[in-house]
Amino acid sequence: MMPTSTRGLLGHFCTPDEALAAAARVRDAGYRHFDFLTPFPVHGMEEAMGQKRSWIPWVTGVLAICGILFALGLQYWAMVFDWPLNHGGKPFNAWPAFIPITFEAMVFWAALGSAVVAVIAGKRDTIPQPPPLLVETGATVDRFVLWISATDPRWEPAEVEAFVRSLGANGVRFVDVSGGNDA
C-alpha cells in the first residue's frame, strides 16, 4: 500500500553488476528522475544511467589558464614596470623565477573556482533525493540502492513498484514525506 504523500520508491541490489544492469533498464524504460546510491564508485554507472559528461573540467581548465595569466601578468608588471630592480645584470622579466608563484596561482584559481562553480551548479539538481538520515538504505555499507522519484513524468505507483521488482530489487518500498516507509 502506497502512502498518500509519496516522495519516491527505493529498491536495493547486492552487486555492482546487478546495479549497472538495473540502471540501464531503468534508463531504457524512460525514467528520468532516478538515481543510484552506492557504497563506492561504480565504473560505468554514468553511462548506464544515461548521464552526460560533466562540463566542470572545462571550467577548471579555463580557471587554471586565468590563474596562470594573472600570476604572470602581475609578476611581469611588478618586476618590469612598477619596481624594476637590477639583480646582477639579470633581465627584469626573468620568467624562471616566476614559475613557483605561477603554479600556486594556477592551482588556487582552478581549485577554488571549480569548487564554487560545482556548488552553484549542484543547486540546479532537480531530482528530489530520499530524505537523508530518515531512510536507512544501506547504501553507505553494502547495498546499491535504486531511487525513483515521484516527480518522474512516468510515475505510476503500481507500475513503478512492479517494474522495480521485475529488475530483481530487494527491499522495495515507498518513501513518504515524513521519511518513514510503507513496507
Q: How far is CA 174 from CA 25, 60, 95, 137, 157, in A?
A: 20, 39, 63, 12, 9
Task: Tell me the CATH number of domain 6-53+130-176, given options 3.30.70, 3.40.50, 3.30.700, 3.30.1490.
Answer: 3.30.70
pTM of this prediction?
A: 0.66
Domain ranges of the chain: 6-53+130-176, 56-122
What cell was used for 141?
555499507
Low-confidence ranges of the chain (pLDDT < 50): 1-3, 179-183
- Residue whose C-alpha is closest to residue 19's, from 154, 183, 168: 168
**Residue 32 phi, psi (nearest 5):** -115, -30
What cell was used for 102?
605561477
Q: What is the pLDDT of residue 121?
A: 82
Q: What is the pLDDT of residue 132?
A: 63
- Residue whose C-alpha is closest to residue 35's, from 132, 179, 114: 132
